[in-house]
Amino acid sequence: MEHYFTAKSRARLIRSCREQAQAFFKGRPKAERDAFLARFDDFAPRLTDLLHGLYRDQFDFGLHLAALTDVLCESWKSRSRKLRETDEARLANPNWFCGPEMAGAVCYVDLFAGDLKGIEARISYLQELGITYLHLMPLFKSPEKENDGGYAVSSYREVNPALGTVKQLEKLAAKLAENGISLVLDFINNHTSGEHEWAQRAKKGEAAYQEFYYLFDDRQIPDAFEPHLREIFPEVRRGNYSWHEPPGKWVWTTFHNYQWDLNYRNPAVFVAMVREMLFLANLGVDFLRLDAVPFTWKVQGTVCENLPQAHDIIRALNACARIAAPGLLFKSEAIVHPDDVIAYVAPDKCQVSYNPTVMALLWESLATREVRLLRESLKYRFNLPAGTAWINYVRSHDDIGWSFADEDAATLGINGFDHRNFLNQFYCGDFPGTFSKGVKFQYNPSNQDMRVCGTTASLAGLERGLEMKDDAWSADAVSRILLMYGLCMSIGGIPLLYLGDEIGTLNDYSYAEHPAKKGDSRWVHRPRMDWELLKEVREDKGPRGRLFTGLKKMLRIRREVPQFAENGLRQMQTHHGSVLAFEKSNSRGRVVVVANFSEHPVIAHLPNGSTLLPHTDLITGKAYAQIEHLELAPYQLLWLQQN
């Protein structure tokens, strides 16, 4: 009987919101109204259930659901005709982002092109590379001095004036779309800066906005949470709370003191963030990178990461997007255990996700000259649901954390703690025989945790090679880079190029002289794009020229190989510890990918009936009568298509 009355109450609430939407669109074009109501009918019941699960203990839950309905209606009403046409095309082809033509690039606007107008002027360069997905790092208004590279957002509706205006951003989004390039922006949804209007009003004592954050009069509650929480930036400060005057309270600040965690326990915060999210969607943004997704929900006695409610928040945001901006997709950013990373990837959560595990294990395999940990991880922690895709990358704006699964390491007799220490030493240049010149990041004396910073070229050995004027050393470095990027292009998903890697950009140590950057060694791998160097590289027959032409060639080939975009892969035995091999196949055929992670020539054995057949390497064009026994050059990558 109780279930009967609960179901009736649920139906009344959904019906009330639908009637509210019908009234909103009264007098509006029929097609506009009918399209919205059809999607509302599809997703509102699920959205209601998700929000009720999160906020059933909030007496005003129904009022917030009504407010959310208004936000969804207003957003759809404001969505341009062109964006609605894009919505329809993507609804008709929901896997539009899963094809081999998808190739990504990421950059800071100012460091790559100066400002938004500069990005528009460089579209032809992106097309030269074959880029169809452009991620612009945080570009919204943020504090001038300390802003965590833009991740302390002060307004979701104002562009950093040094970069341009919202109108220019909207114009750029349209221009990119005209040229077949999807726009990706960060939606920093875990926190705002202390300069955001909401935080400023909280500082003034406005109760409604103090409830947008976690504010405490004393240390009683923070001290109950603190023992279970991870410290993200231990070199900057210890703990997860900071005292702010005003408002004369302790503020939950997981990352930096100036980044105030949003209180999603308050349904008004969810409604407000949906409003900001849909504002960005209506500018023409195709993907939103959800930042720090594991941290959005707090429960005492837990680590406050990866809680079920954090997943429900994403599902609810996704449902809102499906109703009011159905062409919008989400990208997950979660640098956590590999199983927790995968848990955020689903059509009803984040449709794409960074693949930090493969990234870390590519570097691990280069350091050890062994692929066994990479193989073990691919076996159990790579497959994704249909309708989703990995974002495979070699480097990003962030540090490298060794996010492999300790249980995978233990299976192979590897001590995870000791192995991470080795990798940190190797890539920070402290291990004998290393080729890398990396920089330490955020050493935690409590648990000896540490991460590594550096550009791809410097970590891969090109900086040392150029310093020594050793052509062979530099050639090996370039081969390492091409090997890693080639695997990102062929393993399955969307490859992501950190712009500047294609010309072998080295570490920029000048960050240490900048007052606002010197405490954050990640700036060592965020140099300005050297356009003069690009001119030289175009004419260069040496290492950097080989790198530039090699990456462009592989990106061009990838567009014609649909198997490379498929999620699944089948690993193949190679009978050599340094060689990884896997098969990518679909109804149009198969391609075998073989990669040598050693600086020595090796022979791989691939006993398999199909390996006795003739193949052609798509990269070099070389024909092989059989591939059962393969001689591989140092760091060689083969894309072998069966003839």
Reported as a pLDDT band with limits 50, 70 and 90, residue 49 is: very high
Q: Based on the fold, state whether residues 360 and 483 are members of the same structural domain.
A: yes
- Whether 126 is covered by a domain: the verdict is yes
Q: What is the mean pLDDT of residues 606-612?
A: 82
Residue 590 falls inside a structural domain: yes
Does the residue 91 lie in any domain?
Answer: no
Residues 250 and 270 grouped into a single domain: no
- Report yes or no on 19 lying in a domain: no
Residues 536 and 431 grouped into a single domain: yes
Residues 179, 202 within the same domain: no
pLDDT band (50, 70, 90) for residue 523 = very high
Domain end (from 535, 563, 591): 563
Residue 536 vs residues 77, 118, 377, 503, 548: alpha-carbon distances, Å: 50, 21, 40, 10, 11
Nearest to 375 by CA among 273, 465, 491: 491
Residue 315 lies in a domain: yes
**178 and 200, same structural domain?**
no
In the block, tokens 């209601």 appear at 48
Q: Same domain, yes or no, for 534 and 495?
A: yes
Taking the C-alpha atoms of residue 179 and residue 123, their distance in angstroms, rounded to an integer, is 8
pLDDT for the residue 335 = 86
Closest alpha carbon to 614 in 641, 636, 637: 641
Residue 441 counted as domain residue: yes
Percent of the residues in the chain that have a pLDDT greater than 70, as a whole number: 100
How many separate domains does the chain show? 3
Domain membership of residue 31 (yes or no) is no
What does pLDDT average to over the chain?
A: 96
Residue 304 pLDDT exceeds 70: yes
Going by pLDDT thresholds of 50, 70 and 90, the confidence category of residue 2 is: low
Examine the domain organization and report whether 411 and 476 are in the same domain: yes
CATH code of the domain in which 626 resides: 2.60.40.1180
Instruction: Indicate if 415 and 500 belong to the same structural domain.
Output: yes
Rounded mean pLDDT of 417-423?
A: 96
Catalytic residues: 291, 333
Q: Decide: residue 418, CB within 10 A, 0-12 exposed, 13-18 middle, 19+ buried.
A: exposed
pLDDT at 487: 98
* Domain residue limits at 610: 569-642
pLDDT exceeds cutoff 70 at 1: no
The partner residues of 353 in beta bridges, in order of sequence, read 332, 390
φ, ψ of residue 283 to 5 degrees: the values are -80, -15
pTM, full prediction: 0.96
Q: Judge whether 353 lies within some domain.
A: yes
281, 325 Cβ separation under 8 angstroms: yes
- Dist. CA 558–CA 547, nearest whole Å: 16
For residue 80, report the phi and psi dihedrals to the nearest 5 degrees. Answer: -70, 160
Which CATH number fits the domain that encloses residue 337? 3.20.20.80
pLDDT band at 516 (very low <50, low <70, confident <90, very high): confident
Average pLDDT over residues 349-362: 97
Statement to judge: residues 559 and 613 lie in one domain:
no
Does residue 293 sit in the same domain as residue 148? Answer: yes
pLDDT at 548 over 90: yes
Work out the pLDDT band at 540, boundaries 50, 70, 90: confident
pLDDT of 446 above 80: no
Residue 261 pairs in a beta bridge with 191
Q: Is the dihedral of CA 636, 496, 423, 544 positive or negative?
A: positive
Same domain membership, residue 607 and residue 458 = no
